[in-house]
Structure 1
Amino acid sequence: MRGLLLEHLDFTIGTITLDGHPQRMGNLIRTAMRAWLAERKARWPRTLNRHVLVSQQTAGTTHPVSNYFLKRQLTLHGVGLARIRSDRVLGEALATGADPLHLTVLFDLSPATAVKYAELARRLLHDPFGQQPDPGPQP
């Protein structure tokens, strides 16, 4: 996230490129990114920093925000880095057909962990709302 550059966002075709992999931006991400970019432009209209995330300390440089800054901002909003990573892994599993080998390579997961994510993704793809089939009238 710290290394995300402005050129990694393509609102025309609705993609965000993460670690060299273009992903479709959902409406929530697109709306949040546009709102942040508008705030970023209002706060630092003359910044030459190409990173999406900038702070008062980095707006006058070309450096990304620090790990500490990112972790603190997320923690202040109740989000942990482990949760974001888990969400990314699950999102990738859902988007790519729940292939454990793909998850192992992309996220450097153990095979057992990749299989768990793939199984969860398959369950969600099969039954996205967690509903069990209606057994019908009970005697």
Structure 2
Amino acid sequence: MVALTAFHALRSGDLRTIRLADIRSGRLYLSTRVIPLAEPVRVRIQAWLSERERRWPHSANPYLFISRRTAVCVEPVGVAWVTQRLGLTAQAIREDRILDELHATGGDIRRICDLFGLGIAGAARYGSALEHPDLAYYK
């Protein structure tokens, strides 16, 4: 989960509802976009799938991330489970990743839209945040 959030800035809802069938050919197919997965993310997903199979070999749960509670049903994990596993909110990691990409690209709003599925207005809000004095370390 950390790799998906740190590399691709996924939201908590995205993490919770990724189905096993949504990952194929090195891509993550979300309802709104297709994300080519970074190699480190693919490696970690494969490790998780191996662990998942070891822990719950007979689970019929179609979601990528399952817990001891959801392994015996077909429901996604909850928001609290995701936050607990990440150690902070997915939104906090997402915001940091977006700001980092904006800094690295010199404020390229279009790239942020394409990479993270943001609209122009949302990406522009992140872009304007780079000028905030508390983010001076990005300069």
TM class, shorter-chain normalised? 0.5 to 0.7
Provide TM-score, normalisation by structure 2.
Answer: 0.64
- Provide the residue aligned with 1:99 in structure 2: 110
Counterpart in 2 of 1:30? 42
The answer to whether structure 1 residue 69 and structure 2 residue 116 are counterparts is no
1:1-139 aligned at under 5 Å gives the runs: 1-10=15-24, 13-75=25-87, 79-86=88-95, 89=98, 98-99=109-110, 102=113, 106-107=117-118, 110=122, 112-116=124-128
- Check whether the contact 1:8–1:18 (CA below 8 A) recurs between aligned residues: yes
Q: TM-score, normalised by structure 1?
A: 0.64
Inter-partner Cα distance in structure 2 for 1:48 and 1:73: 22
Give yes or no for contact 1:89–1:107 (8 Å, CA) kept in 2.
no
CA separation in 2, counterparts of 1:72 and 1:92? Answer: 25
**Cα distance per residue 1:47-89 (max 9 Å; x no partner):** 11010000000001100001111111111xxx43223322564
Unaligned runs of 5+ residues in structure 1 are: 121-129, 131-139
Q: Mind listing any 5+ residue stretches in structure 2 that lack a counterpart? A: 1-14, 132-137
> What is the alpha-carbon distance in structure 2 between the residues aligned to residue 33 and residue 39 of structure 1?
10
8 A Cα contact 2:109 2:123, kept in partner = no
Q: Could you report, residue by residue, the CA deviation over 1:102-128 in whole angstroms, capped at 9, with x for unpaired residues?
A: 47xx446546414347x79xxxxxxxx
> Percent sequence identity over matched residues?
24
Change (3 A) 1:111 1:51: closer
More helix by share: 2
What is the SS of the residue equivalent to 2:29? strand
**Relative contact order, higher structure (CA 8 A, sep 6+):** 2
